[in-house]
Amino acid sequence: MKKLMLLMLLLFVSNVMATPVNINTADAKSIADALTGIGIKKAEAIVKYRTEKGVFNVVEDLTNVKGIGQKTLDKNKKDILLSDTPVAEPVAGVEPKAAGEAKVVVEPAKAAKSK
């Protein structure tokens, strides 16, 4: 009984601790393994869509794939990558610094004086 409980716990933890997947480069099995509610058929549809239409530019583009709705997308957003470089999450309550005014690097040429 203890072994069964341990096995169930390990399965639960492995699903909770899923590794994010790059939907623009991953194969169908990797997508199905990483995303909740996405089986092999939907994962194959994602790969087919990507092959026919090009890469996903924003995560929301996944809803264009037949069978992928907003609820499925919401469950998986944290596990979806569009590139192999993860994007940092914004920190609540911290505003990004505003860019300063642009400085002139090259002075404009002076017009030649007419004689």
Please say whether the beta carbons of 88 and 30 come within 8 A: no
Q: Is residue 115 part of a domain?
A: no
Q: Is residue 111 part of a domain?
A: no
Q: Is residue 7 part of a domain?
A: no
**What is the C-alpha to C-alpha distance for residues 39 and 31, in angstroms, rounded to an integer?**
8
Backbone angles phi, psi at 63, to 5 degrees: -70, -10
Entry pTM: 0.61
Kindly report, residue by residue over 18-75, the tens digit of the pLDDT. Answer: 689 999 999 999 999 999 999 999 999 999 999 999 999 999 999 999 999 999 999 9
**What is the C-alpha to C-alpha distance for residues 11 and 41, in angstroms, rounded to an integer?**
22
Could you tell me the residue range of the domain that residue 24 belongs to? 14-78
The dihedral sign for the CA sequence 21, 36, 16, 13: negative
Q: Is residue 114 part of a domain?
A: no
The CATH number for 42's domain is: 1.10.150.280
The tally of domains found in the chain comes to 1
Residue type, 84: D
